[in-house]
Amino acid sequence: MKQAKLVFSSKRTASGTAAKKATRKQPARASSSPTSSEAIVISESSDDEIDVPIVKKRRLALKAQPVLKKDEDSDSERPEEVREKETLNVSDKRWRKLYGEARSKMGDIEPVHAKGQTMVNHILRVFDLSYEYGPCVGVSRLDRWERAQALGLSPPPEVKEILLTKEGSTDTQYTQSVFHGEV
C-alpha cells in the first residue's frame, strides 16, 4: 500500500544530513501504523526546505511513542555532534567500590547460579532488589534511578553511569530489571 515517492526538481542537501537521515529513519521504523510510515517516506525523499515543518510535525507526533535509543539530538533540526556513548567495560575500576558494597549486601557469599555474570550484572541486580528505592517491576532501571534521585534517596551514581553507556542503554539485560519478561 505504499504510495509512489514524490521527486522534486531541486534536491538540496543540508550539511550534516547523514546524521539527520539516520535519526529520521529511526522513528519510521519504530512506528507501527502504515499511514504514518508512508508519510515519512514521502518527506524523506527530498530535503527541500518546504518539507522541514512537515517533518517536524511528524517527528513530534511520533516522539510520543517510547523510543528505544535515548539520544538527545533527535528532537533538534540543527545538525549537532552525535554524542557517542562509551562502551561498557565490565571490569572497569570505577565499579569496584560499588561492587564491594553489593557483595556485602548479598551477604559476602558466592552467589549461586551466577556463572558468567559480571561485576556490572551483580551491581545492577542489587540495585533492583534494594527496597529503599521502591518496587522494580515494570519500570526501566533508568526511570527508577531518576525517581530515586528526584525523591532525594541518593542512589549510587555509578549505576547511572553504567545505564548511560552504549550497552547500558540498548541491551535489555542492562536496561530492564531482573524480573523483565518473567513477571
Partner 1 sequence: MAVADPLPTPSAPLTRPGTTLLAPPEDASFLIKSTDKSYKHQYSNIYFVRLRALRQHVEQRAKRRWGEVAGSPIFVPRVLDVEKGQLCFIIGTVYMDMPLKPNVLEDIARDRSIPAPPPREKYHSENDNVMLEDESGRICLVGERLDNAGLVTGVIMGALGIETNNGDFEVVDICFPGLAPQPSAGLAWPAPKKSDESMDVDGQSSAGADEWVALVSGLEVGAANAAEGQVQLLAEYLAGEAGGLSDQSQSARISRLIIAGNSLGPIQTSASTSTAEPERKSRKYGHDTSFTPHPTQNLAARLTDISRSIPVHLLPGPSDPAATILPQQPLPRAMFGGAAHYATFKCESNPTYICVAPAHEPATSSSRASQPGASTSKAKINGTSAHPDKPEPTRSILVHSGQPVDDMFKYVSTPPTTRMKLAESTLRWRHVAPTAPDTLWCHPFFLKDPFVMAQTPDIYVVGNQPGFATKLVEDDGDEGLEDETERSPKRCRIVLLPRFRESGLLVLVNLRTLEIRRVQFAVEGMSAGGGDS
Contact footprint for partner 1 (CB under 8 A): 64, 131-132, 134-135, 137-139, 143, 147, 150-151, 153
Residue 72 or 110 with smaller CB distance to partner 1? 72
* Beta carbon of residue 67, minimum distance to partner 1 (angstroms, whole number): 12
Residues with Cβ < 8 Å from 86, sequence gap 6 or more? 165, 166
* Beta carbon of residue 5, minimum distance to partner 1 (angstroms, whole number): 32
* Beta carbon of residue 133, minimum distance to partner 1 (angstroms, whole number): 9
Q: What is the Cα Rg of the chain in Å?
A: 21
* Beta carbon of residue 95, minimum distance to partner 1 (angstroms, whole number): 26
Residue 100 or 134 with smaller CB distance to partner 1? 134
Residue 66 or 116 with smaller CB distance to partner 1? 66
Residue 47 or 128 with smaller CB distance to partner 1? 128
Grid coordinates belonging to 84: 557517542
